[in-house]
């Protein structure tokens, strides 16, 4: 007999996700099943699938709720005197568990708020550590991990904002072949093994950029990528000595705030809309 599961569909600037309340841990974490649920013709459809679970990490003491990252090594998170309100488990549409998803993080905050897990501010656990967030009138502000350095690859930039990102500045981004060029960089000898997300950026003014992203795991362009928007914004803020920048994506607009700290940035926040599109049940 097939099992019926309740699901919710959320989107953040067009980056869409299948959302499941898995606090009872009954969802079978099958790669094949997750890939099918994300399929836009044979499943629900989404750029990824996110499970909301109870946080099972030990409570630690301290005030810092932001893990830091240099290269691919995370510094252990120091928690406040409480457990996180919930845990985020993220899967790409290929069915594989993946690294942090910024728009997915904003969407799960909206989902947790819908489930009455918190009122207006929360702390949740993700693969890259703890994240603070707040929601007001459908706008979610999410604290991202600190970035200790921005590396160069020729004239382009590479960094990890919870997921690895390549940032390239181009002109006439509206007409740029993001799929072709993104796929080539993602599958180049340097990045093919681990994979990398590829962001193409056009400066629209001294206060706004336009970003289009080819995402690994999805292996296509998405309407928006939160960690990619963050990486792109940090390169722009670094070059222009700014603490915030507006970001246009295919699915809408976001804003990134950050404070310069040596060669990197801390106090990084990603802000934008996140909403429930529909809900239903599906047989698995």
Q: Catalytic residue positions?
A: 101, 225
d(CA 3, CA 63) in angstroms, rounded, equals 43
Phi first, then psi, for residue 157 (nearest 5°) are -130, 150
- Helices 102-114, 226-240: crossing angle, 10 deg rounding: 120
Q: How many residues does this entry show for the chain?
A: 284
* Cα–Cα separations (whole angstroms), residue 84 to 23, 87, 219: 13, 7, 32
Tokens representing 66 are 């932001």
**Residue in the structure block whose two tokens are 């830091």:** 68
Encode burial over 154-187: b for 16+ CB neighbours within 10 A, e otherwise: eebbbbbbbbbbbbbbeeebeebebeeebbebbe
Other CB atoms within 10 Å distance of the CB of residue 150 = 18
Report phi then psi at 231, rounded to 5: -60, -45
Q: Residue 257 has which token pair?
A: 């705030």
């Amino acid at each position: 007999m097939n099992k019926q599961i309740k699901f919710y569909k959320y989107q953040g600037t067009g980056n869409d996700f299948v959302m499941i309340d898995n606090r009872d841990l009954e969802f079978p974490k099958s790669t094949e099943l997750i890939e099918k649920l994300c399929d836009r013709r044979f499943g629900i459809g989404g750029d990824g699938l996110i499970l909301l679970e109870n946080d099972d990490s030990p409570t630690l003491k301290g005030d810092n709720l932001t893990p830091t990252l240099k290269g691919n090594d995370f510094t252990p998170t120091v928690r406040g005197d409480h457990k996180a309100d919930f845990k985020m488990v993220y899967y790409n549409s290929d069915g594989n568990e993946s690294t942090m998803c910024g728009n997915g993080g904003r969407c799960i905050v909206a989902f947790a708020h819908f489930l009455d897990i918190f009122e207006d501010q929360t702390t949740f656990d993700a693969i890259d550590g703890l994240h603070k967030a707040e929601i007001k009138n459908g706008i979610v502000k999410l604290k991202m991990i600190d970035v200790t350095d921005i590396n160069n690859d020729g004239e382009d930039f590479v960094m990890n904002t919870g997921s690895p990102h390549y940032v390239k500045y181009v002109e006439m981004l509206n007409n740029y072949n993001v799929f072709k060029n993104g796929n080539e960089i993602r599958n180049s000898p340097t990045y093919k093994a681990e994979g990398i997300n590829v962001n193409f950026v056009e400066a629209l003014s001294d206060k706004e950029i336009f970003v289009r992203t080819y995402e690994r795991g999805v292996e296509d362009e998405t309407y928006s990528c939160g960690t990619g928007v963050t990486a792109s914004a940090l390169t722009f803020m670094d070059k222009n000595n700014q603490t915030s920048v507006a970001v246009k994506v295919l699915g809408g607009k976001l804003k990134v705030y950050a404070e310069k700290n040596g060669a990197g940035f801390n106090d990084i926040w990603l802000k934008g809309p996140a909403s429930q599109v529909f809900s239903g049940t599906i047989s698995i």
